[in-house]
Amino acid sequence: MLKNSFFVVLASLSAALSQVAHTPLVGGKHYSFLGAAMYEHKTGAERLIDLTRVIEPTDANDPRKFVVHIHDALEEIPGKVRPKDEWYVMSDVELMNHVGTHIEAPFHCLRQGADLAQIPVSQLAGETLILDLRKAEAEGGVTLEQVQAAVEKAGGIRRDDIVFCQMGTTGYFSTPALQWLVARGMKLMGVDSGGVELAYDKTHANVNHLVLFRANIPLIENLANLDQLTQSRVRVYALPVPVKGLDAFPLRVIAVES
């Protein structure tokens, strides 16, 4: 019964907040709290931009579920005093791990590939090239020529760059486009679409994922706010929790402009 009342309190609290000012949008665009943009922070000459989508908890039937079970931890501590108007909650979380902005380790498709705990921090932070592929054709996926033109417009690619792609109507890539980025020495890739696979591939052979993973390059999917960046070369920190034996997990991705 007490558990139910917590959910009632939670539901009314979140309803009240969303009516007042809390407007998180799945997809992470322009969310705010009490009127302030949550995705950016300026300190001196630096500007931080959050490239992470807000995750809205779901119910257990959602194929991309992120279920939060809140329980009252005070109930589990005999004799604990309950201060008025306060609580002490902990949560069990049940999720499908490819939800929101998430990183995929090579282990996602390769049995012997690196898992989340085996991605070195050197691959998760650094100089990042932002490619604008919003005008790229949907048919057949982004081509090699379109990627090369976007790289040139962004000022060129360097060995050990992270590459983030702002996608348009297509979430697809041609394999030569990915192979070319891999051959340039890209160390981590990210897209604001749901993936980088081939267009119209009914075999689900993960051809393009394998181009990245065989080169030991992790992939971040569902980035947000790339349109808020003003520079084509920024510093990025993309930090998943290092879980052994896990293929993917949501993470926070922060860009720094200076």
Binding residues vs Zn ion (CB under 5 A): 98, 221
Q: How far is the CB of 198 from Zn ion (least distance, A)?
A: 15
Of the two residues 216 and 232, which places its CB atom closer to Zn ion in the complex?
A: 216
CA distance 239 to 221: 14
175-183 and 144-153 are packed helices; what angle lies between their axes, rounded to 10 degrees? 40
Of the two residues 23 and 97, which places its CB atom closer to Zn ion in the complex?
A: 97
Q: How far is the CB of 212 from Zn ion (least distance, A)?
A: 12
Of the two residues 132 and 247, which places its CB atom closer to Zn ion in the complex?
A: 247
Q: What are phi and psi of 123, to 5 degrees?
A: -90, -5
What sign does the CA torsion over 85, 89, 93, 99 have?
positive
Of the two residues 161 and 221, which places its CB atom closer to Zn ion in the complex?
A: 221
Q: How far is the CB of 54 from Zn ion (least distance, A)?
A: 17
Which two structure tokens, joined as six digits, stand for 49?
């931009």
Cβ atoms of 31 and 24 closer than 8 Å: yes
Q: What DSSP element (H or E) covers 213?
A: helix 207-213
Q: How far is the CB of 221 from Zn ion (least distance, A)?
A: 5
Tell me the three state secondary structure of residue 47.
strand
Of the two residues 3 and 214, which places its CB atom closer to Zn ion in the complex?
A: 214
CA distance 180 to 159: 12
Apex 217 CA angle, 212 and 222, nearest 5 = 85
Q: How far is the CB of 157 from Zn ion (least distance, A)?
A: 24
Of the two residues 50 and 221, which places its CB atom closer to Zn ion in the complex?
A: 221
Q: How far is the CB of 102 from Zn ion (least distance, A)?
A: 6
CA distance 231 to 1: 53
Task: Give the nearest residue (CB) to Zn ion.
Answer: 98
